[in-house]
Structure 1
């Protein structure tokens, strides 16, 4: 448990070194299956967090864990100790994809775990991993639909990458796993983001957090420093395509200014797609409201 000692000490040092007036939205106990730790360590971390929460230095405490590492009794205990949100690393609800990825649970176990978190009165986060081995076309969308049906507070989308030193790296070298291309994954993520927006569920993160030393261990997979922008810009385009009738004649668009930096995609990659809809820079204008107006211009 030496590593946990070091992490606990580092957490306390960070809080002591922070300015007294600093307030954080969350203390996140991530990086593994928090609820699979020995109970003494779970209690130790949560009791420390509860002190900072009572002092007003953090607003909520959240953790990430596996779906097969929660039960009703444990969730009740941890909530009483101050835990607010549990993010479940579901990755997929599809049994074939979970089995092919070496996961220790089924889709039904994942769904049940989500229900247990909500029944305990805790906030629920769902982490999905599109592009897993064994995942068939369309199943990434089904995973998003199933996650949204469970009414989470937020969703994270982590496209599957091949990392050195993993079983997936062995399969990749043997030609048994072909990662999704960046372009295909960007559209998959765009469709997922649009579904989340329409359901009113925030997407907390898209893609792995860039950490020092991580890049050298990534062997293959859909990775890009602006993956979130690529996904959100495609979500905007898909929405626009749905609402702009082809061949309707000249149109004028009035759009929320907050999307102006993402509508064209990374380096303007979506401009040709918009052009096919008759949408160009010249027939766009911006306002401060979160309302989209599509007007047909009369001759």
Structure 2
């Protein structure tokens, strides 16, 4: 943490959110989590009242663990439930059962955390709309404050990627993915969880993720552990850097009193505009065109007048005053639409 603080961009920072994730921090004993949080406050400037989120696997969620986490000041728990279907969990290689996932949600809610979120994954090979609907209804009936629903994607260099390379696995066809995406939004809206971002759903506006929203609007953030990314505005411009992903090079650099960097980049204005566009269009609020022009120096509507007319005619986007939003049809292909805009 001292090495991260010495980077300079956050010398005077007062962080109001802390996120313990990127693995399974719920495996750590409470005393270790306590030392981490104490370091975040004394070395990194995390505020005493910072909103602290902990990622947890259902296997570690017990009444005693929740009480210890609450004593540490942890306010929010994000549970990696992934599914309430036994076959889904086996495919994903998860170590808990559907019943354990449901029990973990009940235990966390009973412990009095102000915010409990469940992570679910859809688009698994062969997954039916009926099976996914049951997952959504089970999750909503447990009464969490928030749900995150992610489509399965296969990345090179991962166990799923190796299976795909051998021809043993393939992503669900796009038309089927689109149907599940639409089903997710419609069902969760009916169940009291309107979408506020492509993958995120909250029972009320005040229950939207306090931490993750910062990634979407270029708020500076500092990552500490393996593979963690950071972003900052400073005299050198807008910069992003990331840490070593593997434990040996990470620990070797830290032991040598070096920041465990794997790489960094300076983002030019075109890259910043594209990121802001991509991330903004994924949200239900969309993009405030006036604020975009003030912050990034581009009249996005004027630079893309013909494109916006086509997207509106195709029911993919809509304008409301200075606000540009994607329609439900547009949100299903948000990333591809963002790439069509002129931002240079």
What TM-score bracket applies, with the shorter chain setting the length? 0.5 to 0.7
2:258 is the counterpart of 1:266: no
Q: Which runs of 4+ in 1 moved over 3 A?
A: 8-16, 46-56, 133-137, 202-214, 225-233, 255-260, 264-269
CA deviations over 1:164-186 (Å, ceiling 9, x no partner): 23222233233332212334323
Secondary structure at 1:62's aligned position in 2? strand
Task: Judge which range, 120-129 or 156-165, deviates more.
Answer: 156-165
Task: Judge which range, 36-45 or 139-148, deviates more.
Answer: 36-45
Contact kept? 1:67, 1:110, Cα under 8 Å? yes
The 3 A distance-change label for structure 1 pair 264 and 133 is closer
| Alpha-carbon separation, structure 1, partners of 2:26 and 2:332 | 44
- Which residue in 1 is equivalent to 2:148? 156
Contact kept? 2:284, 2:325, Cα under 8 Å? no
- Post-superposition offset of 1:78: 0.9
- Which residue in 1 is equivalent to 2:62? 71
Contact kept? 1:207, 1:227, Cα under 8 Å? no
The runs of 5 or more residues in structure 1 that have no matched partner are: 1-7, 215-224, 234-254, 270-299
CA deviations over 1:170-211 (Å, ceiling 9, x no partner): 332333322123343233122212333333335465459897
TM-score, reference length from structure 2: 0.55
| Alpha-carbon separation, structure 1, partners of 2:283 and 2:168 | 27
TM-score, reference length from structure 1: 0.62
Contact kept? 1:61, 1:83, Cα under 8 Å? yes
| Alpha-carbon separation, structure 2, partners of 1:76 and 1:173 | 44
Contact kept? 2:281, 2:325, Cα under 8 Å? no
The 3 A distance-change label for structure 1 pair 46 and 268 is closer
Equivalenced residue count is: 228
The 3 A distance-change label for structure 1 pair 263 and 84 is same
The runs of 5 or more residues in structure 2 that have no matched partner are: 201-214, 217-228, 230-239, 243-276, 286-318, 334-344
5 Å-filtered alignment, 1:78-117, equals: 78-117=69-108
| Alpha-carbon separation, structure 1, partners of 2:179 and 2:323 | 18
5 Å-filtered alignment, 1:21-40, equals: 24=16, 26-40=17-31
CA deviations over 1:97-139 (Å, ceiling 9, x no partner): 1112211111111111111110111121011110234634432
2:174 is the counterpart of 1:182: yes
5 Å-filtered alignment, 1:1-299, equals: 8-9=1-2, 17=10, 19=12, 24=16, 26-48=17-39, 55-56=48-49, 58=50, 60-122=51-113, 123-133=115-125, 135-201=127-193, 203=195, 206=198, 261-263=325-327, 265-266=329-330
Task: Judge which range, 260-269 or 142-151, deviates more.
Answer: 260-269
Secondary structure at 1:163's aligned position in 2? coil
| Alpha-carbon separation, structure 2, partners of 1:180 and 1:69 | 31
RMSD: 4.0
The 3 A distance-change label for structure 1 pair 259 and 168 is same
